[in-house]
Chain A
Amino acid sequence: MKLEIIVVAIILVFTGLFLYVASNTDAEFGGADGEAEGVIEELTGGTYEPIRDPLWEPPSGEIESLLFGLQIALGALIIGYFFGYYRSRDQSS
């Protein structure tokens, strides 16, 4: 149980820091890649044009979070399936 407690403590510390930053600054919590885009614009004086656009872009933020959610669900499903499989096999033998 020791490891679990340490992990939960670490997550709680960062959750606390997040809540503090969120309520005490006007941070927007945008993506770091978006901010990097801003720096590139500054460095090049706004002259840089991306050499290519994405083939397809999610039509809205909602669709994007749907696809990110699907990615997580798929991964979590696989992890849970194999953990459950081994656990029950160990117990029945």
Chain B
Amino acid sequence: MHVMEGFLPGPWWQIWFALSIPVVAYGIYRLDRLIKENRGILPLLAVAGAFIFVLSALKLPSVTGSCSHPTGTGLAAILFGPAITAVLGTIVLLYQALFLAHGGLTTLGANVFSMGIVGPVVAYVIYKVGMRMNLNFYAIVFLAATLGDWATYVVTSLELALAFPADPGGIVTSFKAFATIFALTQIPLAIIEGAITALIFKYIIQVKGDVLAGCGVLSNARLSKIRGTAA
């Protein structure tokens, strides 16, 4: 669930745009270079983008008695890094803002920041640290996607809390109120997203593992090791 159209007064919506635009611009540059260097990567890019499309349209019920949706950004973040994921996330958020009145154009900067940037950065960092610690590959993917999803909604809560501090209590009180809605609802959905991301990774390795070695996600040694262990 994104910040609704019109629900971030100035200067907040401008601030989030200012923070997001450079990252998306850098992502476009990275994307351009990636495609020029390695055209074979395009189908995988399409799959990563399509995965965000599917997951961010699935409004799922949560144990809190309300509904929210996963983000799907963990897959792209692990495969292509956070900057390129920010570009993919922006495309999805634009579609939802224009055709579904979900999210919005003034809040696009804030939503790109939470779903396209912070979530993917968290997923990417967890993935990198996990790989260095030599943990089970699918456990790492699960953790990265789960916490990336969850971080997105913690940031959404923070964005709203900063714009609407409670009186009395200030930002902390309103953060608690928004986090109760977004971050709490999101916990089961984040876990489901992590599980599904791990599963799709397994299938990508089965059908197209060599490309992963090519784009530097996995070393060849690591790849054959994962293929060797039955998951």
* Residues of chain A whose beta carbon lies under 8 Å from any beta carbon of chain B: 1-4, 6-7, 10-11, 14, 17-18, 21-22, 25, 27-33, 35-37, 39-40, 42-44, 48, 50-58, 64, 67-69, 71-72, 74-79, 82-83, 85-87, 90
Does A53 lie within 8 Å of B203, measured CB to CB?
no
Per the CB 8 Å criterion, the residue count for chain B at the interface is: 71
Does B105 lie within 8 Å of A52, measured CB to CB?
yes
Interface segment among B18-26, B56-64, B77-85: the answer is B56-64
CB closest residue in chain B, given A84: B207
Prevailing SS type, chain A contact patch: helix
Does B98 lie within 8 Å of A78, measured CB to CB?
no
CA distance A78 to B231 in the complex (A): 25
A7 / chain B contacts, CB cutoff of 8 Å: 195-196, 198-199
Does B100 lie within 8 Å of A90, measured CB to CB?
no
CB closest residue in chain B, given A82: B43
A75 / chain B contacts, CB cutoff of 8 Å: 49-54, 57
* Residues of chain B whose beta carbon lies under 8 Å from any beta carbon of chain A: 1-10, 13, 43-44, 46-47, 49-54, 56-59, 61-68, 95-102, 104-106, 138, 160, 164-167, 174, 177-178, 181-182, 185-186, 188, 191-192, 195-196, 198-200, 202-203, 207-208, 230-231
CA distance A75 to B7 in the complex (A): 29
B67 / chain A contacts, CB cutoff of 8 Å: 29-32
CA distance A67 to B5 in the complex (A): 18
Interface centre among A33, A57, A85 (most CB of B within 10 A): A33
Question: How near does chain B come to A46, taking the closest CB pair, in angstroms?
Answer: 13
A57 / chain B contacts, CB cutoff of 8 Å: 101
